[in-house]
A and B are shown apart, each in its own frame.
Chain A
Amino acid sequence: MATTLFDKIWDEHVIRAMPDGKTLLHIDRHILHDITSPQAFEGLEAKGRRVRNPELTAATEDHIVATTPGRDETTYAPGAEFIRAMRKSAEEHGIRLFGLGDMQQGIVHVIAPELGIALPGSTHTCGDSHTCTVGAIGALAIGVGTSDVEHVLATQTLKLHKPKRMRIEISGALGPGVTAKDAILHIIAAVGAAGGNGHAVEYAGAAVRALAIEARFTLCNMSIELGARIGMVAPDAATIEYLADRPFTPQGEAWDAALAHWRSLATDDHAIFDKEVAIDGGEIAPTVTWGTSPEDAIPVTGAVPDPATISDPGRRATKERALDYMGLTPGTPLEGLAIDMVFIGACTNSRISDLREAARIAEGGRVAGGVRAMVVPGSSTVKRQAEAEGLDRIFAAAGFEWHESGCSMCCALGDDLVAPGTRCISTSNRNFENRQGPGGRTHLASPAMAAAAALAGKIVDVRKA
């Protein structure tokens, strides 16, 4: 029978059906971070349980950390107890930790594939909703809460209901100045913030095939913003090229055997999806959000919509509240909207290709007066690479701050915050109220759009910049 990429990986990892209707699924890779794991270890230790497979587990410190140059675990004081807990647990249970000061430290979803910890055809989890990012290399990657982190630590399994299958096909080609970030924002606006609830999404089509692997991470990263815990792209030659010679990818005969498996991982012709969405890649413009849900995304050439036209009262009230929070009125064009802050980073857009793209725009320019712009690399590896290419000097010359790697202003768990009432254009994935700091106003966009806005001091269409 014709099956999907998702089914092939799922079926291979089924241990048994559980009496409650869920499936007991083996988890090949489990990555921990500082915020969602302390309580899991506490629970484990309270019951006297061990970490079942420390050799399949890794950890990093990324969320509640400072990103100021020269930082260490004491720089951001509220993070100290989380970092202490992480280090103690990693030490006691024999888990490899990529902590602050480690050459390979970084945002969990950036380092997992960058280091070759995540692999195609594997099941992969982390106590973080953006774990779906890693599906871009053809892994079945799913975000979980802390109870499930504890469950995986103790059993190396998850109990899950099998999600339905959804395929999002982007046909044609993305236009000049249009990136994977614009594509995913466009898709979320089309299907809604709950359009993928209960589904595993596979991205397919010519425009997806044409994306570099780093851009596929951006695409899959925001699957959770359309409600899907899983987003995937079938591995291909580009995936294999990306993974070759990563620090922890299989070597020698193991690599050859793995390749044979990875090449078999694709959705069969005629496989059935529960839901299909077709998007014309050529119709996607540089896209920016105006509101407080990622579904509030419109072309940069558009204007803030009027909630009065929405008939459903709950939905209308939600969008009215969003406008109020964002300090916007219906009909305001996005182009020309003044910004105070620029954040380039987060597991969505902090890889070397993202930084190159932003630097290309920033080169020779100058951040507009009164605007604070910062660049936060997704990993220490990305930071070193960018510095080797001189990107840090391009940013510094243009007036951008250059930081150490971490989640930074995406989740505002460290001390990088958008100030109350100020407007930030951000390459992160969530424009929720107070997400980037209490009272902060977030407009999601691509790295190029963010860099162009930094120079202009307002939202501009990068195609004209």
Chain B
Amino acid sequence: MEKFTRLTAIAAPLPNDNVDTDAIIPAVSLKRVGVDITALGEYLFHEWRFDPSGKPIEDFVLNKPQFAAPGILVAGRNFGCGSSREHAAWALLYAEVRCIVAPSFGDIFYNNCFRNGVLPAIVRGDDHAGLMRDVTEADGAAPMTVDLEAQQITAPSGEMYGFEVDPAGREALLSGLDDIAMTLEHEDEIAEFQHRHAAVRPWLYNTRFRVKASD
């Protein structure tokens, strides 16, 4: 996985609450892309960027020339709610949007971000309102810096903000390590657990739907 340590990029404001993962990557785009996820980036927010005839919707923030390639989104509450589709995190990653700053996130999306080198940074209350105002006023003229090690944001105006982040997710982003490999280090304990658990709950393990009943 790609690491995330520090990012300086243009930040685009997207103040809507409850931006769902269907908005981030719509079903129609998902079908068009198929199983090759690297093409998802160009479909990020597709239905918000283009009308049904394929014409760009001019007043959508990411269609404004100054926000053509933002590295950061400053978003509203509960960003990434809805579907578990990891395609939402992949679309952000491949569009090179590597950080979302919001007061809260949908739980599954939040977790998916950490697995894909995308930082979901939590800034609440007055700080969030201040940062949103700062980014809106900067209007893409100055970049913003997000420093994960220091857990600090330098807004386009130079104003500094702290942010919250899940410590486990922070470690994962800073190290870029393979999560599955880390769990497999505990394979003996998993095997031991199953052995012990199967003794008390045998019906959970002797499944009748398995392909070969003799397994």
Contact = CB atoms under 8 A, between A and B. Distances in A.
Interface of A: 12-13, 15-16, 18, 20-22, 24, 26, 28, 35-36, 38-39, 42, 47, 49, 52-56, 58, 64, 78-79, 81-82, 85, 94-96, 115, 117, 119, 121-122, 127-129, 143-148, 150-151, 154-157, 159, 161, 193-194, 197-198, 224-225, 227-229, 247-248, 250-251, 254-255, 257-258, 261, 293, 295, 313-315, 317-318, 321, 411-413, 420, 430, 432-435, 437-439
Contacts, number: 224
Q: Which one of A13, A143, A147, A437 has the highest number of Cβ atoms from chain B below 10 Å of its Cβ?
A: A147
B35 A129 contact: no
Contacts of A430: 20, 22, 82-83
Nearest to A153: B180
A55 B184 contact: no
A42 B207 CA distance: 26
Contacts of B178: 47
Interface stretch (B4-12, B64-72, B107-115, B141-149): B107-115
Interface string B112-145: 1001100000000000000010000000000000
Contact of B47 (A16, A229, A438): A438
Contact of A55 (B76, B190, B207): B207
A56 B85 contact: no
A150 B180 contact: yes
A78 B36 CA distance: 13
A47 B180 contact: yes
5 contacts: A20-B167, A143-B84, A147-B86, A224-B108, A258-B203
A122 B205 CA distance: 11
Contacts of A122: 204
Contacts of A127: 84, 86
B112 A145 contact: yes
A251 B207 CA distance: 11
Contacts of B27: 411-413, 434-435
B47 A82 contact: no
A434 B23 contact: yes
Interface residues of B, number: 70
A63 to B, nearest CB: 9
Contacts of B106: 194, 197, 227
Given A128-B83, A129-B82, A314-B17, 6 more contacts: A20-B172, A21-B167, A56-B207, A148-B115, A159-B168, A433-B47
A105 to B, nearest CB: 13
Contacts of B132: 314
A18 B168 CA distance: 10
Contacts of B81: 193-194, 227
A172 B56 CA distance: 52
Contact of B35 (A81, A161, A229, A315): A81
Contact of B193 (A15, A22, A47): A15
B78 A94 contact: no
B18 A193 contact: yes
Interface string B140-162: 00000000000000000000000
B196 to A, nearest CB: 10
Contacts of B207: 55-56, 117, 248
B176 interface: no
Contact of A36 (B15, B86, B182, B183): B86
B30 A35 contact: yes
Contacts of A58: 209
Given A145-B112, A255-B203, A64 B16 contact: no
Given A145-B84, A145-B89, A22 B168 contact: yes
A204 B166 CA distance: 31
B203 A119 contact: yes
Interface in B177-215: 178-180, 182-184, 186-187, 189-190, 193-194, 197, 201-212, 215
A146 B91 CA distance: 14
Contacts of B209: 58, 96, 115, 117, 247-248
Contacts of B111: 144-145, 148
B46 to A, nearest CB: 9
B203 A254 contact: yes
Contacts of A254: 202-203, 206
Nearest to A312: B17
A261 B194 CA distance: 17
Interface string B23-60: 10011101110110100000000010000100000000
Nearest to B105: A197
Nearest to B26: A434
B52 A154 contact: no
A15 B189 contact: yes
